[in-house]
Structure 1
Amino acid sequence: MSLPVNLYKYETLSIQSLLNLKNQTVFFASPSGFNDPYDCAIKAQIDEPTDDELERLRKIYLSKDWPQNVIDALESKSLPELRPILLKLAREVNSTIIDNFIKNRGVSCFSEVNNELLMWAHYADKYTGFCLEFDTNSEIFEKARKVKYVDTMPKLNIASIFADKEREDIMDLFCLKSKAWEYEQEWRTIHSEAGKVFTYDTNALTGIYFGPEMDPAAIEVICLVLQSQNPNIKFWQGKRSDSDFIVEFTEVFYTSAVRVKELGLST
């Protein structure tokens, strides 16, 4: 699946978000703090296994270093007897996988859109924050995954639960959300450890969009910081549209007060 040219990250105005801008970093947060209780926490149902799948699982388990009584049970039980045992075990393993992901992994979230009202309200503190524009050729997006929005809970094949390596259908659970969140048009990157930061290249950040209610003094601070790092970055001032329920943006060109004085433009 091809990435959009740009992806956007909504931010509240805070000391931490300003430090992230200054240090050119993206934070990978634990999903345990996400506002959607199902996010990264879908404990999918298991499809009823076929006899062939059960037989294959029996062979997988016989190859493990189990106590002799467990091996004897696996060898002696018929497939109808094994079915409820393996299904129960699969559900327990699936639950453990989800719990471990929420506890250990880090996720950073991006959007395809920069003018969505709910995004500005929820993630940019009621239009007082800002939105970052990233070039998706940046290294941070090499393994980005598009979030899928669905009406019903998925079901997993039982073989996926017991696979030794991560399977795509298992990983897809962590990029699956209810259609109620479809307006976010989200992409996400996943780190093996929560709480980590990724330092991106200076040119990866191509623009910043200021919320309609953002403090002008804060805008000036951000412009000073970013312009010193990348003179090609673009600044956009947002305002609420008078005709549509969206945030509109106009490009603004920032010149520091010191530069204004040097140019003899101050009064």
Structure 2
Amino acid sequence: MAENLLHKYVNIATLRRILGGSIRMTQPGAFNDPFELLPEIIVRTDQADEQVSFSFDILAPRRTNPLEAVVQLNDGHVASDITSRHILDQLNQQVGILCLSKSPNSILLWSHYADQYQGGVISFDANHEFFTGQIPVDYVEERPKKHIDSYKSEPVPLAELCAKSVEWQYEQEVRIIRALRDCKKTEHLDQRGFPVFTADVPQEAVVTVALGERTPVAEQKEIYQLLRETKIGLTLSAVDNVGYGFRQEIILYPGDFRNPTVSPRTAHLFVDSNSFYAEAARWMIDNHPTSALVNKTV
């Protein structure tokens, strides 16, 4: 298994789409945090209502203290909400962002983004070329301040805008940014009215899928059938016996070895198959003491 992994917490519908080769590149204004890519922009008072066209560099690293010496509010300088929102509006029209996490098993991420443990976590090979240009989010105590002149002098590295409050630090987020012109525009709008853009993600970039503690049995079976003829691993999360965490019960190992693993928690996946595993699965369901306690719907 690849050692360097990035993870995406998703509901089952999104999991299906990604396994089908399509992943959304989301405009920053469509995120759940209204401060996304929205730094405080410091301007002279005579620039407060100025409309400026900016250019952005998707892959450039953060600059070293660009004009940091002149970002303090004082006589003759103000923070311009108009300019900040104008920048965000331009970004919404130009870029899409894929949000991933370094954390493979966060109980908060499971709850917030994986349909309250009914979805799954897709683990990607971070070394795959699809993930070129990774930007770790910078978690900061104070909202970043930028002088408007630092946006005029040269293309702005978008890495500089990938900063969030420390309250989001548990996400351990890494971002991939792409120009929307290089993505596919679908016919759909999201719940906030943003057009949905996607990129083609190759199957070989997916290492394993972990289904949630509460993923319904029918959807567990569906995902198993989707993956059984691939090289993608599959696990089923279960509340661990000790502490606040999950253990991962292996269903399919990633790679070429595809013989499934049967346990009381996963037996229902195999009970109706025409294979050696069906007999073992039926025995576990009928006789193992935990079989009546797992995969309950009520």
- Residue 187 of structure 2 corresponds to residue 190 of structure 1: no
What 5-or-longer segments of structure 1 have no aligned partner? 49-82
- Residue 55 of structure 2 corresponds to residue 26 of structure 1: no
- Residue 129 of structure 2 corresponds to residue 116 of structure 1: no
- Residue 149 of structure 2 corresponds to residue 145 of structure 1: no
Matching residue of 1:214: 215
| Greater strand content | 2
Take 1:167 and 1:245, find their aligned partners in 2: how far apart are those partners?
42
Kindly indicate whether the alpha-carbon contact (under 8 Å) linking 1:44 and 1:154 is maintained by their aligned counterparts in 2: yes
- Residue 178 of structure 2 corresponds to residue 179 of structure 1: no
Task: Give 1:17 deviation, angstroms.
Answer: 3.5
What 5-or-longer segments of structure 2 have no aligned partner? 45-74, 181-194, 253-259, 262-268, 283-298
Task: Give 1:258 deviation, angstroms.
Answer: 11
Kindly indicate whether the alpha-carbon contact (under 8 Å) linking 2:39 and 2:145 is maintained by their aligned counterparts in 1: no
Take 1:162 and 1:103, find their aligned partners in 2: how far apart are those partners?
19
Size of the aligned set, in residue pairs, is 220
Kindly indicate whether the alpha-carbon contact (under 8 Å) linking 2:140 and 2:166 is maintained by their aligned counterparts in 1: yes
* Alignment CA distance shift 1:222-1:154 (3 Å): same
| Greater helix content | 1
Task: Give 1:30 deviation, angstroms.
Answer: 2.2
RMSD value over aligned CA atoms? 2.9
Q: TM-score, structure 1 length as denominator?
A: 0.72
Q: Which residue of the other structure, out of 151, 160, 164, is the alignment partner of 1:161?
A: 151
Deviation digits for residues 17-66 of structure 1, max 9, x if unmatched? 31331x222211222222112122x2324388xxxxxxxxxxxxxxxxxx
| More displaced stretch, 249-258 vs 176-185 | 249-258
Kindly indicate whether the alpha-carbon contact (under 8 Å) linking 1:43 and 1:95 is maintained by their aligned counterparts in 2: no
Take 1:94 and 1:166, find their aligned partners in 2: how far apart are those partners?
16
AA in 1 matched with 2:18 = N
Task: Give 1:219 deviation, angstroms.
Answer: 1.4
Q: Which residue of the other structure, out of 27, 33, 43, is the alignment partner of 2:39?
A: 43
Matching residue of 2:202: 201
If you compute each CA radius of gyration, which structure gives the higher value, 1 or 2? 1
Q: TM-score, structure 2 length as denominator?
A: 0.65
Q: Secondary structure at the match of 1:196?
A: strand
Report 1:249-260 matches (<5 A): 249-253=248-252, 254=260, 260=273
Task: Give 1:135 deviation, angstroms.
Answer: 0.2
Matching residue of 2:52: none
Q: Secondary structure at the match of 2:155?
A: coil
Take 1:199 and 1:29, find their aligned partners in 2: how far apart are those partners?
14
| More displaced stretch, 176-185 vs 214-223 | 214-223
Take 2:212 and 2:277, find their aligned partners in 1: how far apart are those partners?
31
AA in 2 matched with 1:188 = R
Task: Give 1:90 deviation, angstroms.
Answer: 7.8
Q: Report percent identity of matched pairs.
A: 25
Task: Give 1:209 deviation, angstroms.
Answer: 0.5
